[in-house]
Amino acid sequence: MLAQFEKDEAIRVVVLTGEGRAFSSGQDLTEDVPKDASGRIDLGPPLERDYNPLVRTLSKYPKVTIAALNGAAVGASMNIALACDIVVAARTAFLQEGFAKIALVPDAGGTWILPRLVGQKRALALMLSAEPISAEDAERMGLVYKVFDDRSFGDDVAAFAATLAKGPGLSFRMTKEAIAASASNDLDTQLALEAKLQRQAGFSRDFIEGLTAFREKRDPQFEGR
């Protein structure tokens, strides 16, 4: 589905959310789980087949992605949410690295993503304690961008996504590229990348439209190119 959305120029923002009362409670370990040749439960194949490709896709996805936490985001689903560009949450939603409760290791990119967002010490504490993180606490930690009231959550998410969808798609893509590169670049390399991307942005039709709209005191009509 993400691959299909990527090819559709009419789609500028992709929202990932859950049905019912939860974003996702993580892998269902009550279902038939894969086993190795010796009959032992083998949790590696589902990660390699399903979760890891999804996290890789989200990490390099060219369009804006929003994780809209309508409820609990537990285990792998928390880390998939954090792999999106922006996370918003209903007030009663919570996140939880619940792996330790069943003697497992955080996966779906969690050990890579979470320390980069909250620092190694806090990430380790959240993983070892497996304590739930309320939407408000997640917002304070920087894991969640906005918290919306439950009653208006769907409408608030739709309005937020619609605002971003009207934005300059090309500029957004290049901003995502710069942020992703900053994790491994030194300052000089990052400055050079910014200059390169800014030059490209300055050549875009969106920049001309944005500049014209600013001078004419009207809202810009961006095309994403």
78-128 confidence digits (pLDDT tens): 999 999 999 999 999 999 999 999 999 999 999 999 999 999 999 999 999
DSSP summary character for residue 47 = I
pLDDT tens figures, 50-80: 999 999 999 999 999 999 999 999 999 999 9
CB-CB contact of 59 with 83 (8 Å): yes
pLDDT tens figures, 172-200: 999 999 999 998 999 999 999 999 999 99
Coil/strand/helix, residue 22: strand
pTM attached to this predicted model: 0.91
DSSP summary character for residue 13 = E
In 85-218 the beta strands, taken as DSSP E runs, fall at: 86-90, 94-96, 133-134, 146-148
- pLDDT of 27 > 80? The answer is no
Percent of the chain with pLDDT over 90: 82
Average pLDDT, the chain: 93
* Per-residue pLDDT at 26: 66
Please name each of the domains of the chain with its CATH number: 2-165 (3.90.226.10), 169-216 (1.10.12)
Rg for the chain, CA atoms, rounded: 20
